[in-house]
Amino acid sequence: MALIGYGRTSTPEQDAGVQLDALTAAGAERVFLDAGQSSRKRDRPEWIECRKYLRAGDVLLVYRLDRLAGSTDMMIELIHELGESGIHVRSLTEPEIDTTSPMGRALFGMVAVFVQLRVDTIRQNTRDGLARARSHGRIGGRPSVQTPEMIAAAAALRGGGASFRRIAAQLNVSEATVRRMLRARDG
């Protein structure tokens, strides 16, 4: 029986140090870490490698269940798939989740529902916040680099026969930006 750790961050900028430290302290022989990967994706590179590495009798350690899967359905499916292969799952921050015992498997099902509630609540709060911001005239995202002067310069250069590539290089923007500027101006 080997203890194998798996961690995941949602964005590359997030620090995985807490997860790595906890998994190592819990005795993980090897830790797989996906950085900047959505919990909804099944084809996370390190998860795929971790799954190949796991053998019957091993215990997969995760810091929290939401590091493994982002929906109840996906989590239940993963736990079932791992169980079919003789692999158990243990959560370090949810110690009642330990599929090596019948009670742990039962509690897993209940906790999975709350994990899904948490994910859905965060998603709904984000949607509500974005809708409110839009209703107040804020749209988010990066500020546009386009200025009326830049659009006029692009139009003049294009009218003079310049290629999109040349215009983009001269204005220090992408070709796609040049095309959008001219399309918006003509549209």
Q: Encoding tokens for residue 160?
A: 């003079």
CA torsion, ordered 83, 87, 88, 90, to nearest 10 deg: -130
Task: Tell me the CA distances in angstroms from 56 to 25, 29, 98, 106, 144, one per residue in order.
Answer: 23, 16, 16, 21, 54
Q: Specify whether 10 is catalytic.
A: yes
Long-range pairs for 119-125 at CB < 8 Å and ≥24 separation? 119/39, 119/66, 119/70, 119/71
**Cβ contact 38:7 at 8 Å:** no
Burial (CB count <10 Å: 0-12, 13-18, 19+), residue 67: buried
Q: Which is the catalytic residue, given 10, 38, 71, 101?
A: 10
Q: How far apart are CA 66 and CA 68, in angstroms?
A: 5
Q: How far apart are CA 138 and CA 136, in angstroms?
A: 6
Q: Mind telling me the catalytic residues?
A: 10
